[in-house]
Structure 1
Amino acid sequence: MRSVHKSAIALLLGLSLTACSGSAEAPATGAGAIELVETTPAATGDVDTVTWALPSGEPASLDPARTGDYSANTVGTNLCESLLRLEPDFSTAPGLASAVTQKDPTTVVITLRDGVTFWDGSPLTAGDVVYSLKRNMDPKLASYAAHVYASVTTIEETGPLEVTVTFKTPDVQFIPDLAGVPGSIIQEKFATKAGQAFGTASGGLMCTGPFQLGTWTSGQKISLKRYDAYWDTARKAKAATFDFVFLTDSSTLTSALLSGEVDGVYGAPVGSIAALQRSASGKLYFGPSTETVSLGAVAAEGPAADPKIRQALDLAIDKTSFVTSVLKGAGEPLKTFTPPLAWQGSPAKDVYDAGYAALPDTSKADLEAAKKLVADAAPSRTDLVIATPAGDQSLLQTATIAQAAAGQIGLNVTIKQLQPAEFAGLFYDPALRTGIDLIATTGYLEVPGALYYAPGFVFSGAPFNWTNYENPEVTANIGAAVAETDPVVSAQKFVAAQAIYGPAKLQITLAGSYNRLYLNKRITGAPASFNYISTAWAALVGAA
């Protein structure tokens, strides 16, 4: 399950957006009126060089199997393409595969596009695709996309341009997953020769994208060079060189954007929204996103493991005020962790929308109801610990707001700041979670599909079921939804499960944040939508 906190794999959450095409007016509660747009004006010509900031720092690897954070995805998706493309409205379209077909409930057939070449000029083969997908099933590799292949039985070459995937049980989420990093394709020959160094500064890459890896100067920048023989001539890169620089300090990044030293960034600093909106050097865009801010319960025992305490904390925090104070108006409250944006392209959209609308709205605080829940729970202790990553001011502010709200309902919260590496370890090492009740975190959903996230929380032993949540009706419905190939019936099963686990607040989802894109006035073309996290977006950036 793809989920992240900055450079750490963490929690995949989604943003609730009702506007999924064109543009939509969002509440003007921040530093100015906010209009959501999916794309920026198309580029009018080529440019020599674009300099782009990575606020999350230098990627550890660009190997798709080891790609699980903002920085690696922002760079890597322009190099190693997926079988399907993720569009700005979070629908999918053909990519390296001209078609992906559900032949029967347990068989998916992938038809590859003819004429695709790797950067060395050799053709993309079905063998390369088989190799790329099967890597995710290798326990020694520990791919970040391993969960996507949990039900896969075989992946075989069944024709010169055809690959067939079979499953032990149906998995309707598999095809949408191919629009993200789980569907990325690499060259088998190059990867085998590079071994463990594949995807690193020393080992390099061999893929099919519109850019090829140029120089990687550790601690400074990663430079991409246009691949002139790219198969999709309509999306040939407009920049000859695309330089990614590592700027993790918000003040330094903002100054670089305002001065024109850096041309653009995704995830522009929230605290700089007002300054960037006033800038004459460029424009700040807001787009639909699946990024969220949440409090995650990580304890199997104690107050946070009790749904009443989680519900009380949820009711104690005013989400509307949170959006104003922390996100500067660039976001909106959410009801649960699976966002409406995830199913906008589904033929069962109306079923999903109705299910979401029926969930309780807790965007406004209700302290009296929260106090009653705490009294009913009668916890053995009222002291809780919230962990945050050191240096992340937005998450520290989130934890501080939760601390103040908890104090109003009889709970005493201590904030524990952890170094980023230690914070990342919380998600994999139960021993590191000892003494911690909740975490303040951000995350994202990288592909469409209502079923991408929920199974990881509701099944016993699932990677994010840290509170040992168990409800037979929920697991039965989610299991049936995953195995059901009729989209309407699958949606009905999902909605039935969500109606039960949603109010239990397995995640206390506070808000979704809009995508924040800043472009220097000399360039345009980048998608404003969060779909950049899974697609070759940089090829579209060119002269304004």
Structure 2
Amino acid sequence: MRIAALTAVVFLTAACGGAATPRSTGEAGFTLSASTPPAKGDIDSFTWSIYAEPPTLDYIYAFDYPQNMILSNVCESLMRWTPQLGLEPGLASQVKQPDSRTFVYRIRAGVKYHGGGEVTADDVVYSLRRHLDPALGSYWAKSFDRVASITASGPMEVTVRLRRPDSQFNQWMATSAGTVVNPRAVKAEGRDYGSPDAGVDCTGPFRLGTWRKGESIELDRFPGYWNRRAKAGKVTFRFITDPAARTNAMLTGEVDGGYLIAPESYARLRQGLYFGKSLTTVNLAFTHLTGTLADVRVRRALSLALDRDGFIKTGLQGVGSIATDPAPRDAWPPRSAVPPAVGRDVAAARELIKQAGATGKKITVATSPIGTDVSLLATAVQAAGTEIGLQVELKTIAPDAYTALFSDPKARAEVDLFPCTYYLSITDPLAGYSIFRSGAFENYMAYSDPGYDALADQAVAEYDPVERAALTTRLRDIEVGQMLWIPVAEWPTSLYLGDRITGAPTSIAYMYYPWAADVGAR
């Protein structure tokens, strides 16, 4: 997939306990931690900040941080991401691959839904097939584009047959693409499923409690959970859109913790701040390849003129490194070649603008008060564009509306590019290049090249990770040649824990791992 995309910005890696690997840039520096100290015991409840209210908790539309950060504790998938970003069984106790076009999942027996009843193979088939219904418009449909059939091959066994080999499919089964829900609840609620009034019915360590529109979502410990019992009796997610207000809430103890800490708050929250693996890059995403941006020389000029070092120092407070690739380094197999960092060359950029006949032409960049990382990157683009002869206009978008840029073409209609924090949902660099395939959900600029598609298909069909990485490198060469988006920085996951709690993973695994169940008393 996606990878998945966040609205705004993203992060990379750190934590406490175990051997930490320092990686720093700029004056502030930072340390990556493998984990936070384990909890010493249970806790009645804790409160968590989140920057926006989820538009829905229906898993087929869970394609951003707010939805997945909550759903990862309520719903479960066939496979599961680990805190170390590995892959392990989830609701499937076992997966077999008898041939390159078949996956057979053995479903755990006795797993209970929050609303009653137990998971069956038919439930799994129903849940996966929802992604195949074009009338529903699942955001994860591309994960199933090689699927020929999904059938119950036994009372507790599901067989997925593919039209063509797909090295990514089983990895997607750890994301929302592999989520299993109670079909009775979905059918009863119809289009309202996942809304504040209808809720969801899943199998995770917490069940959905009270959803106060515009204010908060509560999760309650599920006593019938099949796996490790959650340490907290209740989790309350508070929607706090303003970064300064989120920081103040953490410092006063109004909330106990949160992910996605705004860089401008790093210094104030230093005592409880952790950084961890994120598979995340901060980029500039184009919304089309027409008009001023139709000429690749204009796109390349913007990349050459952008002050990445300056943005990392100011926008990310020194916590990050220059991105050379849409796929972060941690996604590539060991010993894979890493392209050189993009050097800044304003003179060369000006010359490209002249050659393209683009001097004085206008582009519009989206910005948002969601965080200084977004606003400062937009400002950096405006400064770079102005310096090389373009007319750059900033369009401010409210934090709650910014997430629509990643799913709604209408929301992107009035801008030419926008800051995009992009995270991979699977630990495979190919995921970072699949987004440029014709018709891909995150192919915001509608790029289409039959040669690129054919090479991507070849890479997807390759199960050997080293050979697949070699094919992905060829895709990277095409993408760089066309400058389909502008990589800016790799950014670690950020996490704040107050004095009462500990145990949360430091990595971006919180998107598809029941992290809140590990949080308990410090």
Give the Å deviation of 1:101: 2.7
Give the Å deviation of 1:399: 1.1
Out of 38, 43, 49, which is 1:47 matched to?
Answer: 43
Q: Deviation digits for residues 423-456 of structure 1, max 9, x if unmatched?
A: 5555566566556332223232222222223222
Residue 201 of structure 2 corresponds to residue 206 of structure 1: yes
Change (3 A) 1:426 1:254: closer
Change (3 A) 1:435 1:258: closer
Out of 130, 135, 140, which is 2:125 matched to?
Answer: 130
- The corresponding residue for 2:277 is 288
Out of 460, 463, 469, which is 1:485 matched to?
Answer: 463
Residue 148 of structure 2 corresponds to residue 153 of structure 1: yes
Q: Which amino acid aligns with 1:64?
A: Y
Contact preservation (8 Å) 2:12, 2:494:
no
Out of 137, 140, 159, which is 1:142 matched to?
Answer: 137
Equivalent-residue separation in structure 2 for 1:159 and 1:480 (angstroms): 32
Contact preservation (8 Å) 1:336, 1:507:
no
Residue 316 of structure 2 corresponds to residue 327 of structure 1: yes
- For structure 1, which segment, 487-496 or 145-154, has the greater mean C-alpha deviation from structure 2 after superposition? 487-496
Q: Deviation digits for residues 192-212 of structure 1, max 9, x if unmatched?
A: 222222222211222111111
Out of 49, 58, 67, which is 1:63 matched to?
Answer: 58
Q: TM-score, normalised by structure 1?
A: 0.89
Q: Which amino acid aligns with 2:487?
A: T
Change (3 A) 1:146 1:5: closer
Local SS of the residue matching 1:289 = coil
Local SS of the residue matching 2:233 = strand
Change (3 A) 1:37 1:137: same
Contact preservation (8 Å) 2:504, 2:519:
yes
Local SS of the residue matching 1:415 = strand
Contact preservation (8 Å) 1:309, 1:377:
yes
Q: Which amino acid aligns with 1:373?
A: L
Q: Which amino acid aligns with 2:505?
A: P
- For structure 1, which segment, 510-519 or 488-497, has the greater mean C-alpha deviation from structure 2 after superposition? 488-497
Change (3 A) 1:285 1:430: closer
- The corresponding residue for 1:257 is 250
Equivalent-residue separation in structure 1 for 2:90 and 2:310 (angstroms): 41
Q: TM-score, normalised by structure 2?
A: 0.92
Equivalent-residue separation in structure 2 for 1:399 and 1:298 (angstroms): 15
- The corresponding residue for 1:537 is 515
Q: Which amino acid aligns with 1:299?
A: H
Correspondence list, 1:210-249, <5 A: 210-232=205-227, 235-249=228-242
Q: Which amino acid aligns with 2:312?
A: V
- The corresponding residue for 1:110 is 105
Contact preservation (8 Å) 1:360, 1:503:
no
Contact preservation (8 Å) 1:387, 1:417:
yes
- The corresponding residue for 1:417 is 396
Change (3 A) 1:430 1:401: same
Correspondence list, 1:138-537, <5 A: 138-232=133-227, 235-277=228-270, 279=271, 283-343=272-332, 349-350=333-334, 353-355=335-337, 357=338, 359-362=339-342, 364-379=343-358, 382-389=361-368, 392-419=371-398, 433=412, 436-457=415-436, 459-467=437-445, 469=447, 471=449, 473-537=451-515
- For structure 1, which segment, 41-50 or 220-229, has the greater mean C-alpha deviation from structure 2 after superposition? 220-229
Local SS of the residue matching 2:487 = strand
- The corresponding residue for 1:27 is 24
Q: Which amino acid aligns with 1:488?
A: V
Equivalent-residue separation in structure 1 for 2:170 and 2:187 (angstroms): 26
Equivalent-residue separation in structure 1 for 2:446 and 2:116 (angstroms): 51
How many residues are matched? Answer: 519
Identity of aligned residues (%): 39
Give the Å deviation of 1:482: 1.0
Change (3 A) 1:136 1:515: same
Contact preservation (8 Å) 1:24, 1:36:
yes
Contact preservation (8 Å) 2:359, 2:390:
no
Equivalent-residue separation in structure 1 for 2:254 and 2:368 (angstroms): 29
Contact preservation (8 Å) 1:224, 1:242:
yes
Q: Deviation digits for residues 355-376 of structure 1, max 9, x if unmatched?
A: 3x1x2421x4122332333333
Local SS of the residue matching 1:453 = helix
Give the Å deviation of 1:385: 1.8
- For structure 1, which segment, 440-449 or 216-225, has the greater mean C-alpha deviation from structure 2 after superposition? 440-449
Local SS of the residue matching 1:136 = helix
Q: Which amino acid aligns with 1:53?
A: S
- The corresponding residue for 1:346 is none
Change (3 A) 1:452 1:267: same
Equivalent-residue separation in structure 2 for 1:431 and 1:287 (angstroms): 34
Give the Å deviation of 1:72: 1.2
Q: Deviation digits for residues 379-405 of structure 1, max 9, x if unmatched?
A: 386332212246554322111111111
Equivalent-residue separation in structure 2 for 1:285 and 1:213 (angstroms): 28
Contact preservation (8 Å) 1:114, 1:161:
yes
Q: Deviation digits for residues 318-350 of structure 1, max 9, x if unmatched?
A: 22221111000122111121123234xxxxx14
Equivalent-residue separation in structure 2 for 1:102 and 1:329 (angstroms): 44
Contact preservation (8 Å) 1:475, 1:497:
no
Equivalent-residue separation in structure 2 for 1:28 and 1:467 (angstroms): 32
Equivalent-residue separation in structure 1 for 2:164 and 2:124 (angstroms): 22
Q: Which amino acid aligns with 2:180?
A: I
Equivalent-residue separation in structure 1 for 2:191 and 2:144 (angstroms): 22
Local SS of the residue matching 1:216 = strand
Change (3 A) 1:423 1:48: closer
Equivalent-residue separation in structure 2 for 1:201 and 1:103 (angstroms): 42
Local SS of the residue matching 1:454 = helix
Give the Å deviation of 1:189: 1.9
Q: Give the unaligned 5+ runs of structure 1.
A: 344-348
Equivalent-residue separation in structure 2 for 1:122 and 1:460 (angstroms): 41
Local SS of the residue matching 1:154 = strand
Change (3 A) 1:422 1:54: closer
Equivalent-residue separation in structure 2 for 1:140 and 1:485 (angstroms): 32
Q: Deviation digits for residues 9-52 of structure 1, max 9, x if unmatched?
A: x99x89699xxx95310215354x41111311111100011111
